[in-house]
Amino acid sequence: MVEIIESKKSRLNISSDDFLSLCKSHPKVHIDFGTGDGMFALRRARKIENELVIGLDADRDSLAVGATKAAKKPAKGGASNVRFVCANALDLPEDFTQPVADTFSINFPWGSLLDVTVLADEDFLNGIKKCLKDKAIGDVYVNLFALQDSETLRTNHLPEITAETLESHVKPLWEKAGFKWHEHQFFASGEKVDVASTWASRLTKGSGRATVYWKVEVL
Ligand SMILES: C[S@@+](CC[C@H](N)C(=O)[O-])C[C@H]1O[C@@H](n2cnc3c(N)ncnc32)[C@H](O)[C@@H]1O
């Protein structure tokens, strides 16, 4: 079953078959892992009308924010091609084992999602790969402010992410897990990052720390 959040009070459990049919009824599918309040997913859905955008997060209350906005009429900012799924990205439901997505994003993760993204945790990447098509393209944005609070990263002795350590640590791990590394870029603190999510503006403007971006492709 896939748990779809429709509003603060309403949720729907749909079967694997219904979830697959929903995905297949759209020419393209995008999954935003750790979508938070889902504003990135909603804005993307408004912009790319023939794509199904799935905003996935472990926090129901955050998802309800985006879901409530999405349920409005299109003239009032709603969109019918977005769904908000409550799930742990580190332990995706069995229904997420079919390759449905053409593209994915991980925008400004924190907590466990941050750890597995930066450490390229094999189980996590194998898990998300199951719902990604071959050659699916992913965009990842990490603000370095979030890293300083991560106990896991400290325990794993992950050094501060710099251009050098991104090349020597993060990139080879993603490649080992079966992703082609296309490119990466650092954005200085305060520099505009073109991601239409809530935390993109909060962190890039307010954290005083740089953001690192990388683009990968499922091999
Ligand atoms: C800083 S917020 C970013 C939200 C959104 N991507 C944005 O840019 O506005 C980090 C999000 O990661 C989610 N998250 C952390 N660990 C997760 C996990 N294991 N599975 C799913 N979501 C997770 C949190 O619930 C939170 O909503």
* 202 Cα nearest atom in ligand 1: 9
CA-wise closest residue to 106 among 86, 125, 82 = 125
Which is it for strands 51-57 and 28-33: parallel, antiparallel or unpaired?
parallel
Alpha carbon dihedral 20, 85, 67, 101, in 10-degree steps, equals -50
Q: What is the CATH T-level fold of the domain 1-98, as seen in this structure? A: Rossmann fold (3.40.50)
Residue 2: pLDDT over 90: yes
Q: Whose CA is nearest to atom 23 of ligand 1?
A: 34
| Span between the terminal Cα atoms of the chain, in Å | 28
Q: Which amino acid is at 208?
A: G
Residue 15: pLDDT over 90: yes
Quick one: tokens of 185?
Answer: 């870029």
Alpha carbon dihedral 52, 100, 89, 13, in 10-degree steps, equals 70
Does 111 contact ligand 1 (Cβ within 6 A)?
A: yes
Distance CA 187, CA 210 (A): 6
Question: Which of 5, 42, 57, 151 maximizes ligand 1 atoms within 8 Å of its Cβ, making it the mutation to test the pocket?
Answer: 57
pLDDT in the model for residue 153: 72
Residue 50: pLDDT over 80: yes
Does 104 contact ligand 1 (Cβ within 6 A)?
A: no
The answer to whether domain 1-98 and domain 115-219 are alike in fold is: yes
Residue 196: pLDDT over 70: yes
Instruction: Please tell me the pTM assigned to this model.
Output: 0.96
Query: Which CATH code for domain 115-219?
Result: 3.40.50.150
Does 38 contact ligand 1 (Cβ within 6 A)?
A: no
* 88 Cα nearest atom in ligand 1: 20
pLDDT in the model for residue 177: 96
Which is it for strands 2-5 and 11-14: parallel, antiparallel or unpaired?
antiparallel
Quick one: tokens of 86?
Answer: 């409550």
pLDDT tens per residue, range 137-184: 999 999 988 887 777 777 776 767 889 989 999 999 999 999 999 999
Q: Whose CA is nearest to atom 11 of ligand 1?
A: 34
Q: Can you give the residue ranges of every domain in the chain?
A: 1-98, 115-219
